[in-house]
Amino acid sequence: MNILIVYYSLTNVTKNVVEIFKENLSKKHSVSLFELKTEPEFKNNNIKKDFKIVGLPDIKGFDIVLVGGPVWAFGADFPILKFLESVENVKGKEFILFVTMAFPFKWMGGSRALSMMEKILKEKDGKVLQKFCINRMFKNVEKEAKKISENIISLIKT
């Protein structure tokens, strides 16, 4: 399968997860990464609602698109939302969504973030195969990411 992973990461947590996904998924599939960047670039305490995404990936040639980013304020982060709203060729495409979050429970933003992301894709007739939440508190992110990679591999077995 031809897999694209589109992600946003402010403090590199999601980026590390994506690198673990790539390492594991590449054993069976062809994996490309696209990191979303904003203009202006956000800093930890300087997040604005007025921004642009610098360049959008073309998802057309990929069989599966993974999309992920951090949870912000009990929802999805703004760059991921803007990407999902802007991306074309979503109809019929299969997606797997994931988020990383600081708090220990999904209900502290993770579930809502994933639902917000899924809603946008469903409105564009995209198919969401699965959603994953990685909560960092009390958990080993690398181990979680590896486990999810295995899960994804079994999910997209042809």
Ligand X SMILES: Cc1cc2nc3c(=O)[nH]c(=O)nc-3n(C[C@H](O)[C@H](O)[C@H](O)COP(=O)(O)O)c2cc1C
Among 4, 5, 6, 10, binds ligand X (CB under 6 A): 10
Closest to 152 (Cα-Cα) out of 76, 88, 34, 64: 64
Give the separation between CA 130 and CA 118, rounded to whole angstroms. 10
Q: Which among 12-20, 50-58, 85-93, 118-126 is the span making contact with ligand X, rule CB under 6 A?
A: 12-20
Among 1, 33, 56, 108, binds ligand X (CB under 6 A): 108
Query: What is the identity of the amino acid at 134?
Result: I
Min dist. Cβ of residue 15 to ligand X (A): 6
Rule CB under 6 A: say whether 109 interacts with ligand X: yes
| Residue written as token pair 């980026």 | 15
14 binds ligand X (CB under 6 A): yes
- 10 Å CB burial of residue 19 (0-12, 13-18, 19+) is middle
Q: Which residues bind ligand X (CB under 6 A)?
A: 9-15, 44, 47, 70-74, 100-103, 108-109, 136
